[in-house]
Structure 1
Amino acid sequence: MKTGLPITRISLTWLLVAQVLVILPHLPYLPLWIIAMWLGCAGWRIQIFRMRAQYPSGVVKAALILAMALGVFLSRGTLVGLEAAVVLLVAVFILKLVELRSQRDALVLILLGFFTQVTAYLFNDGMLAALYSLLPLCALLAALVGLQQSRFAERPLVPLKAAGSLLLQAVPLMLLLFLFFPRLGPLWSLPLPNDKGVTGLSDAMSPADIAELSRSGDLAFRASFDGPVPPMSQLYWRALTLERFDGRRWSQSLGAQHAPAADWRKEGEALRYSIVMQASGRPWLFGLDVAETSEEGVRATADFRLERRRPVDRSLLYQVTSWPQAVREPEGNPGTLSRTLQLPPEGEPRTRAWATELKQRHTDPQALVDALLAHFHREPYVYTLKPPPLGADNIDGFLFDTRRGFCAHYAGAMTFVLRAAGIPARVVAGYQGGELNPAGNYVLVHQFDAHAWVEYWLPGRGWISVDPTFQVAPNRIEQGLEEAVAGEQSFLEGSPLSPLRYRQLAWLNQARLAWDNLNYGWQRWVLGYQGEAQVELVRRWFGSLDSRALGVGLVGAGAVLMAVLALFLFAPWRRERDPQLRQFQVFERLLARHGVVRGKGEGPRAFAERAARELPRQAALIRAFLGAFEASRYGSRQGLDPARPLRALRKGLPWRLRGVRG
């Protein structure tokens, strides 16, 4: 292709269509001025094509670039980071449109389109997003095909057909690479967009944080068990262990993060399950106590968390085995026990006095815990997502004044009381319960399932989990958040269009769960097809193979596949089926019988003109056939048939040759 040629109408049309399709999945993460910029640039480029506007000058282009950078900075607050980088890329992809002068510029724009399309997977890697990505990919290929100065200019669907054919031809090679090409880890990690909305739990907790998550219907993860799904009331998904309290917020302890794994003893039956976790931008994983995993780069911490070396910046599939009845650290670690008795030196005087009173009345630590739980159950505490504001001593205000709150209030208050009474305790943050999808027999855990509970330590028994929220609102644990706050109508009140709010409509709920089952299958079997799954597949198909043999086999299979594709593309067996080419071959044979043989590399016109000179009596017939052949094969008159002039030429030659058929 000559890259200096002007851009055809059909190519420009497909470029505009491709831009719309590429930008569309990015719209939720783009500022609104991007849409206005595309409309302006597209209109400007169309007017340039119609010769009613001029290309932008150097000064105008510089001003556009500065305005674009300023817009990104004002809308994102920075020019670095994932969100800002994607906005810059989309803006450059749009601005390039107004300076398209030649096919070289169009090639640059198409390559930018391919790269911009790939960035959409940073935000959404679901099955629907993958299927949709075929549309902009096909449009970009159609624009690339349409750059050719050919008969495509009058037939706009021909480039689309050619692009679809190219995609289909690439499918076998894609499957080969997907199944056997080794997965390479990322060379770097990118911070995810909208950190708070996507991340879910943060590394510190206050009641306001849990309240914000309770208003989100976003998916956190899915879990599939090897066997029956346990009751929802037993599903406490640990994410974080919060040991440090500064008077307002609970946070992780640096000592626990750097200490070796805690000592614990396996007891009872194990639970085996797999989790497909959504991108969080955080390093912790989810699991039921006490969790173990063989996932590479994951370690068990001193506070029974699972922590990954890299943040989870894309959907992650991992296998977990848990022992719910395990005995956790029965002897106790002095450093851990010291950290889990820490309290601010001042504040919460009424709570401290009450803890002292409880300790005097209940000398046995377990009896004190039971009395505290009974207090929450007996007194008129209320579970609500709309608690009244609290003052400086927020635990005092919650326990003795408002008595209205949700899990973070109850877990934080109970932990404070236990510490003040001399019992080591800490807050555990994670998710509780989930929604069973009967279509796939797995559990969906959403952000509104975020929860906090308490762990306390007793000599010889180790760490024991307890949930004070259950004493106040057992329906929150057994039936979920929606049932617990049904009276105040606060479930997902900020998301009126969320299908989760209309689960009482059977047909809508079944459709939602069926679609989620498809997405789960996509994430588990496609996105989760990583190194170990690849090795297992190779062993199952080919037995034991070392890496060198696998590499040689992969290269060999790729070479064979490319040869088959090349054979299919060139299709030598189909050449004689081309009626125009078959007629020209008859023309060649007719003239060859009369001593005019076509030379190697000699074009049809040069051959016909030489034949006309060597056979002057048949020159008019030869030129008539040539004109009909060229018009039919290279011109726009596709219906013109060279067969008639070919028959006339055969009749006009000195001998009637037998065995030659048109």
Structure 2
Amino acid sequence: MSEQARLAQSIPRICLTWLLLAQALVIVPFALHIPPPLLVLWLVCSLWRIQIFRMRARLPGTWVKAGLLVGTAGGVYLARGSLVGLEAGAALLIAAFILKMLEMHTRRDALVLIFLGFFCVVVGYLFEDSLLWALFTLLPIGTLLAALIGLQQVDVARKPEMALRLALKLMLQALPLMLIMFLFFPRLEPLWSLPQPSNKGVTGLSDSMAPGDMAELSRSAALVFRASFEGPAPARSQLYWRSLTLDQFDGRRWSQSGRSQSVQLAQWSKRGEPLRYSIVLEPSGRPWLPSLDVAETGQDEVRLMSDFRLQRRRPVSQALLYAAQSWPEALRDPQLTDNIQHQALQLPARGNPEARQWAADLKRRYPQPDRLAEALLGWFAEQPFHYTLKPPTLGPDSIDDFLFTSRQGFCAHYAGAMVFVLRAAGIPARVVAGYQGGEFNPDGQYLTVRQFDAHAWVEYWQPGTGWRSVDPTAAVAPQRIEQGLEQALSADEAFLADSPMSALRYRHVPWINAVRLSWDNLNYGWQRWVLGYQGQQQLQVLDRWFAGWQAPAFVAGLALVLALMALWIFKPWQRENDAQLRLFHAFERLLARHGLRRLPGEGAQAFGARAMLALPQQAEAIEAFIAQFMALRYAVDGTSLQGLRRALKHLRRDLPWRLPTIKDKHS
């Protein structure tokens, strides 16, 4: 290969600089999703690449590259247990991105590496799709574009800042087209599916519950969902967000029975005015959707189960926007089937004798289910029960120990104990698990529900009336229902003690709270109007925009925007790429207004001489411009483009708008 060909294939220093920076920006956000040794491999390969550029090291040979490839693949397999799946695939992709930097030695290799970097940025959205991540991705995209410019247009980007400036300009030019495609491009279901990352959905309600589980959730500030209402939001004491129903008890844990999961037809009738709201649910890895009782939603893949929970056919693996309407006063199951009634009375054959005996006594005193439930709630309120996240350990007869000995517990203790007593008294009952309350954001007029809002309450049934909801926790700690967990624990326990840096712990500081609420409002808008702009919502927006007279107005406005964008990008008035020739053509157009046109083949100096004869009063300005142009074009005397612009400006100022043309003078 000749020296000229070798230089043509070499990678410019500017390109390599931007590639190294882009690789760092692409890889660092993956640190939580790839094996840590890959980060060490990246540092080693980067330093090796720099030493190669400084001619202090050689490119790796075939055997070295093969060994690195096999070793990296083996390390990923040992760390992830497989080479298939999202996390393993992402780790292999990042490994290829790292090793390609070390193997790169031609411009074609650099081009492959740049495109691989863009693909890595896209893969990152499978792990994180927040507003902060979207803003961060502008950095690796900008640096990758700068590397591409440095690779393809070395003359344009002689310095790194010039390449970055052009990259930012290209991104700004692409912004209008991106918005148009976002608004109008159809949302299609993916042609493939991948297992979701294992670190998603690790916190949240599960399909079974022991008393300590709710206490663990109450130490987490992780976001569950945000809800906005059409009209005023209900009072906090009415915000019971049902997620699932637990109707099987084994003496320690409450869980879903197989019967409750197989029956899908709910028997209910609407009463009163409905509540209309929309929810943006965070990824949970679970199929159930939180809702107020009794809920309906227009989503095809969501169904109302027999226990009145909303359930999706697939687990929620990414942020989900859904609209629902609920009838809090609805009549639910006025008549129970034998199967459901049998399940709602299920208890272990043995255990908790004191609670069973007490339930029999209550049944004799209060034969009506409503009266017995009221007596239970009154007993919880009158006795010295204490609401706490740190109750003492209970023995084998956990219900007896809680009701008659410790009397300290969390919502799961109270709900589980009340359901046990109701069932022992012959009243069908079950535990409902979900969330209660939520924090109102005045900036966006919506509610934010977090894991520490997890709650459990009770449903019991009586003929003709159906299921009724009661909350024994409200009888013991009414501040938990009316104000929230922080106020309920303020007397003797720290709120979010395991998260000392959480901004939620400093809601009493006005400016911290204001910043937190504003940032949360931005994220909610991002999720609702960007991530949630899918299928049905897109069709609704387009139907609203293209209704009636708005359709032609919208099309005309869109055409105008596209035309302005085309003018801005292509700049037809600057078709000449040569800045010197652009100024000379402006000089020609200026003289053409006065009847002087350059002849085919006529040089700049000859045309200037003819113009000075035709316009003697402007001869000095014409001569100055021609002299500046000739010096800049053909000589090396330090003449600048700015001097040529000043000469043209001086000539334009000296010339009147229109002089008598040559033809006018002869006539």
The verdict on how the C-alpha distance between 1:62 and 1:358 changes in structure 2, with shifts beyond 3 A counting, is farther
Alignment of 1:140 onto 2:144 = yes
**383-392 vs 219-228, which deviates more?**
383-392
Partner of 1:398: 402
Partner of 1:580: 580
| RMSD over aligned Cα atoms | 3.6
After TM superposition, give the deviation of residue 80 of structure 1 in Å.
3.8
Deviations along 1:40-91, whole A, 9 cap, x unmatched? 2211111111111222233333433344344444544554443333333323
Partner of 1:502: 506
CA distance in 1, matches of 2:23, 2:426: 65
After TM superposition, give the deviation of residue 109 of structure 1 in Å.
1.7
CA distance in 2, matches of 1:190, 1:395: 44
The amino acid across from 2:575 in the alignment is R
> CA contact under 8 A between 1:199 and 1:282: conserved in structure 2?
no
After TM superposition, give the deviation of residue 196 of structure 1 in Å.
6.8
1:3-14 superposed matches below 5 A: 5-14=9-18
Equivalent in 109, 115, 122 of residue 118 of structure 1: 122
> CA contact under 8 A between 1:8 and 1:149: conserved in structure 2?
no
1:313-324 superposed matches below 5 A: 313-324=317-328
Alignment of 1:326 onto 2:330 = yes
After TM superposition, give the deviation of residue 236 of structure 1 in Å.
0.3
The verdict on how the C-alpha distance between 1:390 and 1:514 changes in structure 2, with shifts beyond 3 A counting, is same
Q: Percent sequence identity over matched residues?
A: 58
**73-82 vs 448-457, which deviates more?**
73-82
Partner of 2:97: 93
Equivalent in 57, 61, 66 of residue 57 of structure 1: 61
Alignment of 1:461 onto 2:470 = no
CA distance in 2, matches of 1:4, 1:448: 62
Deviations along 1:137-175, whole A, 9 cap, x unmatched? 111111111112622563111221221122122122212
**560-569 vs 329-338, which deviates more?**
560-569
Partner of 1:179: 183
Partner of 1:491: helix, strand, or coil?
A: coil
Equivalent in 264, 286, 308 of residue 268 of structure 2: 264
Equivalent in 250, 255, 261 of residue 251 of structure 1: 255
1:133-282 superposed matches below 5 A: 133-148=137-152, 150-152=154-156, 154-195=158-199, 198-282=202-286
Partner of 1:370: helix, strand, or coil?
A: helix
Partner of 2:455: 451
1:509-548 superposed matches below 5 A: 509-543=513-547
Partner of 1:124: helix, strand, or coil?
A: coil
Partner of 1:463: helix, strand, or coil?
A: strand
CA distance in 2, matches of 1:80, 1:368: 57
> CA contact under 8 A between 1:411 and 1:467: conserved in structure 2?
yes
Equivalent in 299, 307, 315 of residue 303 of structure 1: 307
After TM superposition, give the deviation of residue 568 of structure 1 in Å.
4.9
Equivalent in 493, 500, 505 of residue 497 of structure 2: 493
Partner of 1:287: helix, strand, or coil?
A: coil
Deviations along 1:256-290, whole A, 9 cap, x unmatched? 22323211121122211111111222221111111
1:586-597 superposed matches below 5 A: 592-593=601-602
Partner of 2:152: helix, strand, or coil?
A: coil
Partner of 1:102: 106
> CA contact under 8 A between 1:190 and 1:313: conserved in structure 2?
no
**406-415 vs 72-81, which deviates more?**
72-81
Partner of 1:338: 342
After TM superposition, give the deviation of residue 460 of structure 1 in Å.
0.8
Alignment of 1:480 onto 2:489 = no
Moved over 6 A (4+): 1-4, 556-564, 583-591, 625-628, 640-643
1:352-363 superposed matches below 5 A: 352-363=356-367
After TM superposition, give the deviation of residue 318 of structure 1 in Å.
1.4
Partner of 2:95: helix, strand, or coil?
A: helix
The verdict on how the C-alpha distance between 1:52 and 1:638 changes in structure 2, with shifts beyond 3 A counting, is farther
The amino acid across from 1:129 in the alignment is W
After TM superposition, give the deviation of residue 385 of structure 1 in Å.
1.2
> CA contact under 8 A between 1:5 and 1:102: conserved in structure 2?
yes
**How many residues in Structure 1 have an aligned counterpart in Structure 2?**
612
The verdict on how the C-alpha distance between 1:641 and 1:353 changes in structure 2, with shifts beyond 3 A counting, is closer
**Unaligned stretches of 5+ residues in structure 1:** 595-624, 644-657
Partner of 1:238: helix, strand, or coil?
A: strand
The verdict on how the C-alpha distance between 1:564 and 1:208 changes in structure 2, with shifts beyond 3 A counting, is same
The verdict on how the C-alpha distance between 1:119 and 1:397 changes in structure 2, with shifts beyond 3 A counting, is farther
After TM superposition, give the deviation of residue 459 of structure 1 in Å.
0.7
TM-score (normalised: structure 1)? 0.83
> CA contact under 8 A between 2:201 and 2:283: conserved in structure 1?
no
The amino acid across from 2:430 in the alignment is R
Partner of 2:43: helix, strand, or coil?
A: helix
> CA contact under 8 A between 1:195 and 1:281: conserved in structure 2?
no
The amino acid across from 1:520 in the alignment is Y
The verdict on how the C-alpha distance between 1:628 and 1:228 changes in structure 2, with shifts beyond 3 A counting, is closer
1:426-441 superposed matches below 5 A: 426-441=430-445
CA distance in 2, matches of 1:638, 1:23: 47
The verdict on how the C-alpha distance between 1:330 and 1:395 changes in structure 2, with shifts beyond 3 A counting, is same
After TM superposition, give the deviation of residue 401 of structure 1 in Å.
3.1
> CA contact under 8 A between 1:455 and 1:463: conserved in structure 2?
yes
After TM superposition, give the deviation of residue 354 of structure 1 in Å.
3.1
Partner of 1:37: 41
CA distance in 1, matches of 2:490, 2:198: 29
**388-397 vs 495-504, which deviates more?**
388-397
CA distance in 2, matches of 1:456, 1:191: 39
CA distance in 2, matches of 1:428, 1:121: 35
**395-404 vs 110-119, which deviates more?**
395-404
Deviations along 1:366-386, whole A, 9 cap, x unmatched? 222222222222222221111
Partner of 2:125: helix, strand, or coil?
A: helix
**69-78 vs 249-258, which deviates more?**
69-78
After TM superposition, give the deviation of residue 641 of structure 1 in Å.
9.8
CA distance in 2, matches of 1:581, 1:35: 51
After TM superposition, give the deviation of residue 13 of structure 1 in Å.
1.0
Alignment of 1:130 onto 2:134 = yes
The amino acid across from 1:234 in the alignment is Q
> CA contact under 8 A between 1:10 and 1:152: conserved in structure 2?
no
The verdict on how the C-alpha distance between 1:403 and 1:61 changes in structure 2, with shifts beyond 3 A counting, is farther
The verdict on how the C-alpha distance between 1:67 and 1:398 changes in structure 2, with shifts beyond 3 A counting, is farther
CA distance in 1, matches of 2:260, 2:431: 13
**200-209 vs 77-86, which deviates more?**
77-86
After TM superposition, give the deviation of residue 304 of structure 1 in Å.
0.4
CA distance in 2, matches of 1:559, 1:436: 41
The verdict on how the C-alpha distance between 1:109 and 1:302 changes in structure 2, with shifts beyond 3 A counting, is same
The verdict on how the C-alpha distance between 1:505 and 1:569 changes in structure 2, with shifts beyond 3 A counting, is closer
The amino acid across from 1:255 in the alignment is R
CA distance in 2, matches of 1:3, 1:272: 67
The amino acid across from 2:58 in the alignment is Q
1:369-384 superposed matches below 5 A: 369-384=373-388
> CA contact under 8 A between 1:431 and 1:445: conserved in structure 2?
yes
> CA contact under 8 A between 1:199 and 1:281: conserved in structure 2?
no
The amino acid across from 1:407 in the alignment is C
The amino acid across from 2:254 in the alignment is W
